[in-house]
Amino acid sequence: MRTTIALDDDLIARAQAYTGIEEKTALVRAALKALIQREAAMRLVNHGGSQPGIKGAPRRRQDVE
């Protein structure tokens, strides 16, 4: 999908310096993927412990001699 966006030249230059990605399309794609990964991780963190009364899953343990 084609989209026209206005990008801050300084932010682009800094992102290119950090990542080594020179092509703007690839840079924006990488930035969006990183944002999605970060937000997904934050959702997992925020949902953690939301059921305090839940029992832990049973585990099978082997005796080690």
Cα separation, 27 vs 16, in Å, equals 7
2-59 pLDDT tens trace: 999 999 999 999 999 999 999 999 999 999 999 999 999 888 888 776 666 777 778 8
pTM of the full predicted structure? 0.67
Q: Which of 3, 2, 4, 22 is nearest to 12 (CA)?
A: 22
| Number of CB atoms found within 10 A of residue 27's CB | 19
